[in-house]
Amino acid sequence: MPFNGFQSITTLVCWQYIRLHPITGPERCIDVDTLDKSAVRRAFNRAAAEYDRHAVLQHQVCERLLSRLDYIRCQPRVALDLGAGTGQAARALLARYRGCRVIAADLSRTMLQTIGRPRPWRRIAQRVQCDAEALPFADASVDLLVSASTFQWCGDLPRLFAEIKRVLSPQGVLLFATFGPDTLKELRQAWAEVDDAVHVHEFADMHELGDAMLNAGLVDPVVDTEWLHVSYAQPQTLMRDLKVVGAGNASSRRRRGLRASETLRRVASAYPRSADGACLATYEVVYGHAWGSQLRRSTVSVAFDRRS
């Protein structure tokens, strides 16, 4: 295994997203000009063959996201797995909704090729290569849109959620998981001790995601967050894992070329360690859901306990 294990912080913040104060300035999102989409696509193309062997955390997040469908009553005719990767969520949707047409969409053609081709004796998702911020689907054509660990690769949140709003049917459901700004904070802090360049991806927070959903016209958006810790023996292993799964730094302001071994040793030395000497990597997982333009009142109400 590439890491020592998960530690989940028990405090689960869950709340109905309500904007209490109007936005007084322009919405902040990841600068579109600083997110290199071509670098994102190339990274995931390279990662496709080995992705499932190393993306343990991403698979765990996807499983946690899909479990939330247990509390949403819907029978979609068309379901979209946006940012499908190797098809984990698409396969689960095919199994859950037997009469549903499932579409697996991803920026990486090579990732989609790992899903396989349809066969007469086997149901499989239809594969579509596209950008999440420019969806090639008709208006109001999707009844369920699921996305796991993808929105952090979208630089323009208003455009992303406007596209989602456009393709969702009036009673369509959006369900997503992405990563928040505390993600990889230890690695970011360690690099800050070495230089002032951009080495770690930037992540939008839950307030930005909630505002973007509201401004797009999605109905009753709900956002909640949990924190996962992955334990590594050495920070070099974390950086190698990020590269192997295609989750490296995609900023156009990133430094090109190989990093000197001495630089990496300085980063490793600056990386914070726990009492037992382990290197913990924090992942802030932001979950969200919303409806198209009409709230489906048959949703099951679930009460979340706050634990300390």
Q: For residue 118, name the pLDDT band (cuts at 50, 70, 90).
A: low
Q: What is the pLDDT of residue 80?
A: 98
Summarised one tens digit per residue, pLDDT across range 168-184 is 999 999 999 999 999 99
Q: Which domains does the chain have, with CATH numbers?
A: 5-291 (3.40.50.150)
Average pLDDT for residues 27-48, to the nearest whole number?
Answer: 75
Task: Answer whether 0.75 is exceeded by the pTM.
Answer: yes
Which residues are within 8 A (CB) of 281 and not within 5 positions of it... i.e. 6 or more apart? 3, 184, 186, 187, 229, 230, 231, 232, 238
Average pLDDT for residues 33-48, to the nearest whole number?
Answer: 87
- In angstroms, the CA 212 to CA 209 distance is 5
Q: What percent of the chain has pLDDT over 70?
A: 79
Q: What is the pLDDT of residue 25?
A: 34
Cα–Cα nearest to 200, from 177, 212, 182: 182
